[in-house]
Structures are given as C-alpha cells and as structure tokens.
Chain A
C-alpha cells in the first residue's frame, strides 16, 4: 500500500470534461489526483508566415505552460527550457494519431495549460490535448493516452504523486494509442534494472487502457447532458 492508500498498480482519481472553453474549437479539462490542466485546440487554420506551410499536410504546434502558482516555489511565468521540451514531447506523441494529410497548408495549434502540478504534468497534457483534438472534430486514428510509472523500494508504482516522485529511482512516462498498443512516447529519468523494463511497460499499457475508458466516457458525456 502507498501513502495515499492506493494499490501499486492503481491510477489516481481522474476527472475529465470536454468542451470547457467557449472560444476554442475544441477544449478539455483533465484532473489526475492533484495535477490538473486545460487544453485548447484552434484550427485547422490558415498558416502564416507562408514559409512555414507544408505543401501536403498540416503542421501541429503545441504550447505547454504552467501557472506561476502551480508549484510550491513560484514558477517564473513564460517559456523556459523545461516547457519547451514538454511542448515538443506532447506534439510528437500526438503526431502519429492525427490525419494531418487532410489539411494541407494549415496549422493545428494546441495550448496546454497546467493549473496545478503534482507530478505527471506531461501525461495530463497529452491526455487533455488528445481529448481537445477529438472535440475539435479533427480526424484521428485513435485517442492518445499517457501515464507515468516509477520504482519505489523495488516495487513498480503506477502514476506517481509529487511525494513519490522525490523518492523514486526512476520516472518513466509512456504515451500510447490504446487500440493497437502503439507507443508514441517513451521517456525515462534515473536508473533501472533492465529486467524491470518489460514489466513496467506492461503495467503502463494497462494503466493507459483505464485512462482511455475515462476519455471515452468524457467525450460521450458531452452530448448526453443536453438530453
């Protein structure tokens, strides 16, 4: 058992909503434990300056940011090294899922904003971004779900909290398309025994399935409310 009375392979409590922002083409809110954020999708829209346009496909742009009050010590607002990296990571994990070839010469912009951070912000970002893309009516092969994992005292722990992240030996984030179990992001910090890797990935894929069910529920719920 862990600090917050979870099993080792249990995911934090999740809440997902779709269509939270009025002015965006698609938007979503995702909460995993104490981490939560919103994602907004604008586009496909015409892209300028013209040299950025791609002749036969749309380009995907992602902007990740955190509020200054999202962490214990004040985070300086504005882009920094870390957020630039996470923007790139989120974008590339969504890349294989979107039918970009349907919208040549356009851009699809994704904004991910983390309101409160307690580990696993990039996973929340990816989950929220893929929901927002689906909500915006952009054609996709599958939703993308993401989840993180660590090793504490030899136990594999799924979906770390901030406290656990400080004592873990490693932190492994994975994004996948659950239908075919295709992995689109695999990232790790720290050290780990090579025998454990397969078990960790298996556990992460199971975790992603659970998140996928939640995402499905959230999307279908949007149009049931009105009835």
Chain B
C-alpha cells in the first residue's frame, strides 16, 4: 500500500472527515502537510509529518520537572505550554523517600485544560510514577502511534528483544531504561525518521536480528 502525501489546502475525496481536515463550500481539504489515513466508511484523518504536541485531556505523558513552587511543580511536556502538577496530585505527598525535585522525570496524565491553556496533570492513578535510572529521548509527537504499533506490537517487540523498559508519552518524550539502551534508542530514532515509510516492522526485525547473532 502506497501512502498518499498531501499538502495544506489539497482537496481530499471522502465523505466524512476527522482530524487535520477542514470543510469549505461542501468540499474537504487537508490542513497539514501529512499522510492520509483512510478508515472504513470513507472516513479520513490526516496525520501531520511534523509539528508540536498540543495537549489533550486524558493523554498519558512523560514530563520533566523544571520548577518547584510552594504548592505545585511546573513540568516541561514538550509543548508550547507548561503543565503544572499540584502537590495534591502527586503520588504520595508525605512519602519523603520518593519526593519530587527539579530535573526529575515523571509519568503522568493530563486531567484538565482550561480555556487559557493552563494545563494540569496528575500522578494519582495507579501506574503513574517517578521514572528513575534511564534516559529521556525526544521524538516527533506525530510519530508516537507508529512507534507503539498495532496494539503495542512494535514497542513490545523492541522491549523484548533489547531487554529494555520503555515508557512512551503521547507528547513525544520516551523514557528508556534497561540492558541494551543504546540499540533501543537507535531503533526508536530510526522509526522517528522513517515513520512515513512502509514495511517498517521488517526493517526493525532486521536490526533486532543482528543483535541476537552477536
């Protein structure tokens, strides 16, 4: 299957439009320089090839704490807007062994976005925690779904073969820790660079295959 690339303002023939399109005089056009993602029922999304992360409520993100105030932390979430993490939304505010500080990496989700784009995140629910003993790398937020693969198949494959643990944020920050960090990062960056191409799974398997031979 060849992927169709569209430029801003290019007409798309479809019946229903999703993300990344707009309507003008009953016709549909692309907003982005991106790839067409056709779903059943003539439903179309445009996946931009480049761009900044725009926060959505419910997104699971990886962030870096950049400032500590009396009652909240400011968190860099790789977006034009800063997020704030109130002390009351941290995991356990009285657990002094696990307390947060500037420079720490956290896994959290977005719980509220106000009209003036102040973003509140939370670590209250089970899986969210402080991430230690690894590196954060930055990829294009628009390419995160490609890295995860169908039902997480791609990232699971990478994790198993390289013996790494990865935490992927919707915002494009990926936290990597484990045995073969270097190769894992190399592969993630390769996916980031070549996400628009077909047959990515095979190429990744090739790269992972080399590891097993060594």
Contacts and interface: CB of A to CB of B under 8 A. Distances in A.
A141 B22 CA distance: 8
A103 B116 CA distance: 11
Contacts of A135: 33, 50
B29 interface: yes
B197 A46 contact: no
Interface in A136-177: 136-143, 177
B5 A223 contact: yes
A7 to B, nearest CB: 28
Given A139-B20, A220-B5, A103 B29 contact: no
Contacts, number: 80
Contacts of A45: 52, 80
A102 B9 CA distance: 16
Interface string B23-56: 0100001011110000000000000111110100
B82 interface: yes
B9 A141 contact: yes
A226 B197 contact: yes
A227 B50 contact: no
A137 B5 contact: no
B11 to A, nearest CB: 8
B80 A134 contact: no
Nearest to A219: B7
A206 interface: no
Contact of A55 (B32, B52, B116): B116
Contacts of B7: 134, 143, 215-216, 219-220
A143 B8 CA distance: 6
A125 interface: no
Interface in B1-27: 5, 7-9, 20, 22, 24
B142 interface: yes
B50 A136 contact: yes
Contacts of B82: 46
A43 interface: yes
Given A137-B52, A226-B194, 9 more contacts: A55-B116, A103-B54, A137-B50, A140-B31, A141-B8, A141-B29, A142-B29, A143-B8, A219-B5
Given A134-B8, A137-B142, A102 B54 contact: yes
A25 B31 contact: no
Interface string A203-226: 000000000000110011001001
B72 interface: no
B67 to A, nearest CB: 14
A25 B197 contact: no
A140 B34 CA distance: 12
Interface in A53-79: 55
Interface hub of B20, B22, B29, B50 (most chain A Cβ within 10 A): B50
Contact of B51 (A104, A137, A215): A137
5 contacts: A139-B20, A142-B29, A215-B7, A223-B49, A226-B197
Nearest to B140: A137
A135 B20 CA distance: 15
A138 B80 contact: no
B142 A177 contact: no
B31 A99 contact: yes
A55 B7 CA distance: 29
Contacts of A106: 80-81
Contacts of B24: 141
B112 interface: no
Contact of A104 (B29, B117, B194): B117
Interface in B138-162: 142
A195 B8 CA distance: 35
Contacts of A215: 7
A120 interface: no
B66 to A, nearest CB: 12
A105 B33 contact: no
Given A99-B31, A103-B80, A223-B196, A139 B8 contact: yes
Contacts of B194: 226
B178 to A, nearest CB: 29
A26 B32 CA distance: 13
